[in-house]
Chains A and B, each alone.
Chain A
Amino acid sequence: MNGVQQPLLTLSKLTKIYGSLLANDSINLEVFPGSIHAVLGENGAGKSTLMKLAYGSIQPDAGQILWKDKKIDYWNTAVARDLGIGMVFQHFSLFETLSVVENIALTIQGPKKDLIDRIRMIGADYQLEIDPTAMVNSLSIGQRQRVEIIRCLMQDLKLLILDEPTSVLPPQHVQALFDALRKLQKDGVAILYISHKLEEIRELCDVATILRDGKVTGKVDPNKTSAQELATLMIGRTIPKIERRKSDNKSKNPTLNITNLNIKNPDPFGADLKDLSISVFGGEIVGIAGVSGNGQQELGRIISGEDIKGDLEPSAIEMFDQSVTRKGVIERRDLGFAFVPEERLGRGAVPSMTLSQNSLLTAFKKGMLKNGFIQGDVVTKFTNKCIKEFSVKASGNGATANSLSGGNLQKFLVGRELLLEPKLLFLSQPTWGVDVGSANEIRQKLISLRDNGVGILIISEELEELFEITDRMYVLRSGRMSNSMNTSEVTPDAIGEYMIGEEREGANNAIAV
């Protein structure tokens, strides 16, 4: 690339304020044609805000946006799209009950037949093959992402913005995505690539702008910068490596045992659970890998007792050698079970209530009640302890749950459940939307809990996380559970195979027919 090239998009001193939060603080960024530009930062660093500003879906409080050095007075998504900017959001915007081509026809004009041809052509060009007539609900996450990218390519694309595109992909699909992006780069398309995964950025991108707390902390060539340096720019300090040793005091009997669980999902697009069996012993961390939407939510609700199915065999779900199949949440908790759900606001915590009130939510059996009267001092003490021991950043026990950042609220919720001294702890997506520092603290706590003999079950989309802390792993795909695998004996690729197994089976069948 030559130095005199004209930038395609220039963000100049962009500032966005949300209430008291300075989400973006006078950020400068230049994107050149044919460049894959990484925007790197932790959760909450302001990456998504910046991208939404660039795409015009929100308006800056100060600063300018320039397209090919020309100032654009009023920038919105319609203008951005007309200029040739496409964006693939983290959460896809597709209608599940429509086919691929119908979804695309919603934004791209033209007769359906032409659209189908163009989808096929683009698919062949970029190796993003997809059946244009397939219904979206039948597509895997990876395929849906392809649809989103193809939709962007159907217009005269100059700049493509991708928000954490690999966070939902199994490892095998990541390379295919990268190949497509490199091809786009060759064609002169600029790409803004948002991620917090350092290795990916080092492999793919030629420039990286690093954000921290809404400010740019560096602009580097990721190929010439070590992952360690990138991490330091991103977090502002070095992260201690998680210390762990092999689990050594595994219990004799399982703390959780699920046998041949079969559940038909009333939601036609939800996953049925099929013949599913898992066990968790005390003193080990067991992970369930897999892409969300394969039965994770359903399984989570069954284990927690939020969903009780009367028609199951009593032996289907056992905790501590007792059948809990027909027992409610509180009865299960009484046995020593605790749970941190994936949705923090609205499920794990009541958003508008204070931290103290949210302690009371599940910890009410910790001496907080006397004849049904709430013991305010006990609640306060518990809450303060939780805030202190789990270094939750909050204005105090009177802060409302929705005033905390994702990471801090998660620390609070994990802390609350740990203070209940469970013997079996179940966490769903424990570090979703949690910053790197907090995620590390949480993982470290989980390992020390395991060393004290607690059985821990984790459902997670983040393979790296599972490899970092689990002792055994299962993969959940289309409601079926794989066999148990020892984490030390498998590779991420092998787990990935299980995650995409069905597509492969489908392909094999097609050949066989």
Chain B
Amino acid sequence: MLLQFERRDTPSKSLIFATPFIAITITILLSSIMLLIQGKSLQTTFFSFFIEPFESTYALSEVFLKFGPLLFIAQALAIGFRAKVWNIGAEGQMIMGAILASSIPVYFIDSESVFLLPTMIFLGAIGGMFWAGIAAFLKTRYNANEILVTLMLSSIALQILYYLLLGPWKDPMGFNFPQTVMFQDAALFPPIIFGFRLNYSLIIPIIFTIFVWIYMEKRFGGFQLTVGGLAPRAATYAGYSANGAVWKSLLIAGMAAGIAGMSEVAGPIGQLQRSVTSGYGYSAIIVAYLGALHPIGIVFAAFFLSVIHIGGDYALVTADLPISSVHIFQGLLLVTYLSSYTLVNYRFKPRKAKVKEVESNLT
């Protein structure tokens, strides 16, 4: 018996809210099987995944350190996703933001100016917007698919980063490591608590979240953007610019990713190096969907994902899990979430088998 997909007429509202929890439950069940086969203790594993991140101030500060960029990028991407502009290249936009922002401490090594950090924020935004703007231009001008363009631009950004780190921007005193000089204090966000890596850059995503919420829920501009994405011909009919939606979505995302990249080099990393993004650009896509593309949902999703990221790190040590198990756990979560979300909107229906001998029956 074959199965076919059939769209539900009215997906249940409460089920949409329940989806993340269902996904988490299924993930825990499935990974329990995996852990049991591996002979690992379930208790220790889930303790390290879900409890240890809250046990110490240090652990919690690390959770919030991850929370910032994830929240920032996911909020911005969700604007585009709601408008059906599929920017999956936040990673590259982040890199370009980090590169442009780094140019200041790289070229003004001795400056202690108070304008250093604001200039870097500005340049970070410009770098990300420029990179996303290329995709917007190609999309609006030549109708080039933004999924491919943004993804490929990420690869290009990475190569530019490597070139700079191996060539002109390499720290001459850095024992030939592919990284820039360590930035001076004036080029770094001050820590919120002395001695921890968590810093004041966290404020930017939080303010941004409030703006996004107001923009998408209350502002006409947000409405126009959503219309442009959901029904481009309706946007043209009403006189809204369909291209405007593409530009706005990509530029906002580029700005957010660029500043997030800047916050990394001016924050926990303190220099430009190869692993500047920590994969936030891709994880943020998961966060945006896990949060059902809703500004409030994304706050919870970003926090949750940060917890299991940090929890994953602890699981490596405390529960002695291999890194691939941690990746499987995180991957399972996304797969179960997306499939539960699909099943909220669709249902399976059995398809009857074909009967060939109808004709012969007749005669």
* Interface residue ranges, A against B (CB under 8 Å): 18-20, 59, 67-68, 70, 72-74, 76, 79, 82-83, 304-306, 328-330, 333, 339, 341, 343, 346-353, 357, 360-362, 364, 369, 372-374, 403
B231 touches A306 (CB 8 A): no
Within 8 Å by CB of B352, from A59, A352, A372, A374, lies A59
Chain B residues whose CB sits within 8 angstroms of the CB of A82 once the complex forms: 358-359
Select one of A72, A306, A328 contacting B358, CB under 8 A: A72
Are the C-beta atoms of B219 and A373 separated by less than 8 Å? Answer: yes
Q: Which residues of B contact A67 (CB under 8 A)?
A: 362
In contact, A353 and B230 (Cβ under 8 angstroms): yes
B231, A73: Cβ atoms closer than 8 Å: no
- Say yes or no for B167: interface residue by CB 8 A criterion: no
**8 Å CB contact of B231 from A70, A351, A362:** A351
Question: Given A72-B358, A74-B354: A329 and B220 within 8 A (CB)?
Answer: no
Cβ-closest chain B residue relative to A340: B237
Q: How long is the Cα–Cα vector from A20 to B8 in the complex, in angstroms?
A: 10
Q: Are A346 and B233 in contact (CB under 8 A)?
A: yes
| Most chain A Cβ neighbours within 10 Å, of B9, B223, B231, B233 | B231
- The answer to whether B239 and A369 have CB atoms under 8 Å apart is no
> Contact between B220 and A19 (Cβ–Cβ < 8 Å)?
no
Is B234's CB under 8 angstroms from A372's CB?
Answer: no
Residues of A within 8 A of B41 (CB): none
Q: Which residues of chain B from 323 to 363 have any CB-CB distance to chain A below 8 Å in the complex?
A: 352, 354-355, 358-359, 361-362
**Per-position 1/0 for B219-252, Cβ under 8 A of A:** 1110100010011011011110000000000000
Check A349 against B234 for contact (C-beta < 8 Å): yes
Determine the residue in chain B with the shortest Cβ distance to A19. B9
Taking the complex as formed, is B141 at the interface, i.e. its CB lies under 8 A from any CB of chain A?
A: no
Report A-chain residues with C-beta under 8 Å of the C-beta of B237. 304, 306, 329, 339, 341, 347-348, 362
Q: A329-B238, A330-B239, A350-B227 are in contact. Are A369 and B220 (CB under 8 A)?
A: yes
List 16 extra interface pairs beyond A82-B359, A361-B234, A362-B237, CB under 8 A: A305-B239, A329-B237, A329-B238, A329-B239, A333-B239, A346-B231, A346-B233, A347-B233, A347-B234, A348-B234, A350-B230, A351-B231, A360-B220, A361-B238, A372-B220, A374-B219
Pairs A-B, 10 closest by C-beta atoms:
A329-B239, A19-B9, A330-B239, A74-B355, A350-B231, A347-B233, A361-B238, A79-B358, A350-B234, A306-B236
How far does the Cβ of A169 sit from chain B's closest Cβ, in whole Å? 28
Q: How far is the CB of B278 from chain A (nearest CB, A)?
A: 35
Bound-complex Cα distance A227 to B219 (A): 54
Q: Which residues of chain A come closer than 8 Å to B359, judged between CB atoms? A: 79, 82-83
A359 to chain B, nearest CB (A): 11
- Determine if A73 and B358 form an interchain contact, defined as CB atoms under 8 angstroms apart: yes
**In the complex, what distance in Å separates the CA atom of A74 from the CA atom of B354?**
7
User: Which B residue's beta carbon lies closest to that of A304?
Assistant: B237
Instruction: Identify the closest chain A residue to B217 (Cβ).
Output: A374
Among candidates B9, B220, B238, B354, residue contacting A20 with C-beta atoms closer than 8 Å: B9
Q: Are B231 and A347 in contact (CB under 8 A)?
A: yes
Chain A contacts for B358, CB-based, 8 A: 72-74, 79, 82
Contact with A along B1-34 (1 / 0, CB 8 A): 0000000111000000000000000000000000
Looking at B230, B231, B237, B239, the one whose CB has the most chain A CB atoms below 10 A away is: B237
